[in-house]
């Protein structure tokens, strides 16, 4: 995102500049929100399939194999969607950080976890 911002001809007007930066960020946030919603729905379907399988195992029956296949497939789908949601959320978070730097007029710098932890626990460095 920092490279995109650097290549973009942003308006000099502060209000228009902020709006343009927000417009760059918006699709990434929307993608992350959609991925999280999709992940949640897949997790619910996985839980439902697991519950049906558990009930069938308790009651016994010959439908165990197909139920187990469905439960496994839904668990895999839920895991894949959770990973996709995590990746999309991290991308949106990183883009948000770059946009925040651009809005404040600060130059972008790579994330330093130690510095961020220090600021979180002890306040900004003086």
Question: What is this structure's pTM?
Answer: 0.80
Cβ pair 53, 68 in contact under 8 A: yes
Per-residue pLDDT at 55: 92
Per-residue pLDDT at 126: 58
Q: What is the mean pLDDT of each run of 10 residues along the chain (126 residues)?
A: 91 95 97 98 98 92 90 98 98 95 88 85 78
Question: 124: which DSSP letter?
Answer: S
Cβ pair 49, 18 in contact under 8 A: no
Q: What is the sign, positive or negative, of the torsion defined by CA atoms of 102, 105, 109, 111? A: negative
Kindly write down the DSSP assignment for every residue of 7-30, as one continuous string: HS---SSHHHHHHHHHHHHHHHHH
């Amino acid at each position: 995102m920092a490279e995109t911002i650097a290549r973009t001809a942003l308006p000099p007007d502060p209000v228009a500049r902020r709006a343009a930066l927000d417009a760059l960020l918006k699709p990434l946030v929307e993608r992350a929100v959609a991925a999280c919603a999709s992940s949640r729905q897949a997790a619910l379907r996985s839980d439902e399939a697991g519950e049906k399988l558990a009930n069938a195992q308790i009651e016994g029956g010959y439908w165990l194999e197909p139920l187990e296949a469905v439960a496994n497939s839904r668990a895999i789908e839920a895991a894949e969607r959770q990973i996709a949601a995590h990746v999309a959320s991290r991308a949106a978070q990183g883009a948000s950080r770059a946009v925040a730097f651009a809005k404040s007029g600060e130059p972008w710098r790579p994330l330093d976890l130690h510095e961020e932890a220090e600021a979180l626990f002890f306040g900004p460095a003086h």
